Structure 1
Amino acid sequence: MEHIQKMHNEIEEWLKEIVPFIKSAISKEVTIETKRNRKDLVTNIDKQVQDFFIRKISDSYPTHTIIGEESQERTISDDRKHVWIIDPIDGTANFVKQQDHFCILIAYYENDIGKLGYIYDVMNEDLYYAIENKGAFLNGQRMSSPEEISLQEGLVSADIRDWVGKECLKRLAEESFDIRYFGCGGIDSIHVMTGKFAAFATSKAGPWDLAAQLVFAKELGLKVSRFNGSPLHYLDHGDWILCNKGAFDDLLTILKVC
């Protein structure tokens, strides 16, 4: 574990270095481009932050594999001894439109085992991190596993853009306490991790959207899966759930038909 602690210390230093740059960029002109559609945004800041982390990781660990959301090459070989996964700004639309509710996501895996996960809430300057078998932490203070919440009593964060007109959305609205959505999977996940939400569910995700959260889920006793209940792999694309144990079975019953 000595090398894991070394990595953790480095990541904390990298975050301290890059976060002031991100916050200062809010008051400057940002170059905005679209990816899949007009609502799927990427900025020059996303790309510069990702380049920063790739440079730092490559300098310290030149043989490691790095997957970034804004990279042209997103595939990975069968050699997965050391894999880093980065979302430089999760919630880019929020960064552009609100200057709030966006975060940095970083995960490190060895031989497909999640060792480190990070969610940095930029505007609140809150660093959430999880270390395999050591626990999850907020600004250095150990986090407790959230108390069990039933679906009936819990708020559910759901990216429902692909669910409009479907029975699953109607049932979710009826059977949960209510529905919320921040538009940033990392921020939504924090609310599940801290017990403010019962669950977060989305139909569209990539490894950069979920790899860090899987490390937290293990340390905090949260449930993760695909909508059909099958296990979730950190390199998966598509639908996934992060859920409080008390709401998991009822939520799956709804989402299996979504």
Structure 2
Amino acid sequence: MASVKEMDTYAKLWMKEAGTRLRASFKTKLNIEMKTNPNDLVTNMDKGIEKFFCEKIGEAFPEHRIFGEEGMGNDIKDLKGTVWIIDPIDGTLNFIHQQRNFAISLGVYVDGIGKIGMVYDVFSDELYHAIKGQGAFLNDQRLPSLEEASVSKAIISINASWVTENRRIDPSLLAPLVRDARGTRSYGSAALELAFVAAGRIDAYITMRLMPWDFAGGVLLVEEVGGEVSNIKGDKLDILKGDSLFVSKPGLHKEVFDKYLLGNSSR
């Protein structure tokens, strides 16, 4: 049975190689297709990078299963055994329009428990990585434990759609939070926003709908530096089906639920 250290070593090499391929694609013309709507796009590079990971994992760890956004892995019905959860490009719109503010996200789960989490900011060449119980790192630098924060001094990452009319939450619930926070941001990549919370670059991230590959790699980063992770109801995340997401520095979870969300949140 493969050790976590062995999987971690291979994963880092593959992340870097995949990043090199993505940077090289900046000079080429992308083949862009629509998935569910005009804002839900996939490129030949999304598919190519997922295929790359599937081939590498299949060669090194043939007994492991793969849960990928573009569907090139296995038909995952449960998280038994070792499952690699991969988003080849998290932030495809940013990749297409900006060639930055996108990431590769990778999480390795063993019997439903996250053992390895990685988020690679390809443009900046910043690899955020963690092994459960061993802390989180940015490249070779260990990330410090997060300090407590309050809403009035917090930079909160939230998409503007959640404070305007939408189908998932009453926008009036989060509008006061946006008003009371020191500032808000939206980067267009859940994986990066999770990594930024772990690194202390932002204080919290809130969103109403994500798929497992969006957050499987990043949540372990946040947990390993003492951050808090839940869905918008305060419950444990559904790693298999996807969920809403609220991650924060210590102290913010309680304040946000007590003042803005308690008893009023919906998924």
TM-score range, shorter chain: over 0.9
Q: Tell me whether 1:171 sits opposite 2:171 in the alignment.
A: no
Aligned to 2:50: 50
Query: Which aligned runs of 4 or more in structure 1 are off by greater than 4 angstroms?
Result: 72-75
The answer as to whether partners of 1:104 and 1:119 remain within 8 angstroms in 2 is yes
Task: Output the CA distance in 2 between the equivalents of 1:104 and 1:79.
Answer: 21
Find the counterpart in structure 2 of residue 148 from structure 1.
148
The whole-number CA distance in structure 2 between the counterparts of 1:255 and 1:236 is 23
- Match among 174, 180, 193 for residue 188 of structure 1: 193
Task: Report the CA distance shift for 1:4/1:29 in structure 2 as closer, same or farther (over 3 A).
Answer: same
- What does 1:245-256 align with in structure 2 at a 5 Å threshold? 245-253=250-258, 254-256=260-262
Equivalenced residues, count: 258
2:236 to 225, 231, 234: 231
> Where does residue 22 of structure 2 map in the other structure?
22
Structure-1 residue corresponding to 2:168: none
Cα distance in 1 between the residues matched to 2:241 and 2:77: 14
Q: 1:174 to 1:16 in 2, by over 3 A?
A: closer
Code of the residue aligned with 2:23 in structure 1: it is: K
TM-score computed with the length of structure 2 as normaliser: 0.91
State how far apart, in whole Å, the 1-side matches of 2:242 and 2:15 are.
Answer: 26
Shift of 1:228: 1.1
**Partner SS for 1:209:** helix
- Describe the SS at the equivalent of 1:152: helix
Structure 2 residue aligned with 1:71: 71
Q: Where does residue 116 of structure 1 map in the other structure?
A: 116
RMSD: 1.8
Aligned-residue offset at 1:2: 7.5
Q: Any conservation in 2 of the 1:89–1:102 contact (CA below 8 Å)? A: yes
* Equivalent AA in structure 2 for residue 85 of structure 1: I
Q: Contact 1:214–1:234 (CA<8 Å) still a contact in 2?
A: no
C-alpha distance in 2 between matches for 1:75 and 1:251: 37
Same amino acid, percent of matched pairs:
34
Tell me what 2:100 maps to: 100
Asked if the contact 1:130–1:216 (Cα under 8 Å) also holds between the matched residues in 2, the reply is yes
TM-score by length of 1: 0.94
- Determine if contact 1:82/1:110 at 8 Å carries over to the other structure: yes
**2:207 aligned with 1:207, yes or no?**
no
Q: How does 1:117-136 map to 2 (within 5 A)?
A: 117-136=117-136
In the alignment, which residue of structure 2 is the partner of 1:216?
221
Q: Mind listing any 5+ residue stretches in structure 2 that lack a counterpart?
A: 166-170
Q: Cα offset for 1:187?
A: 1.5
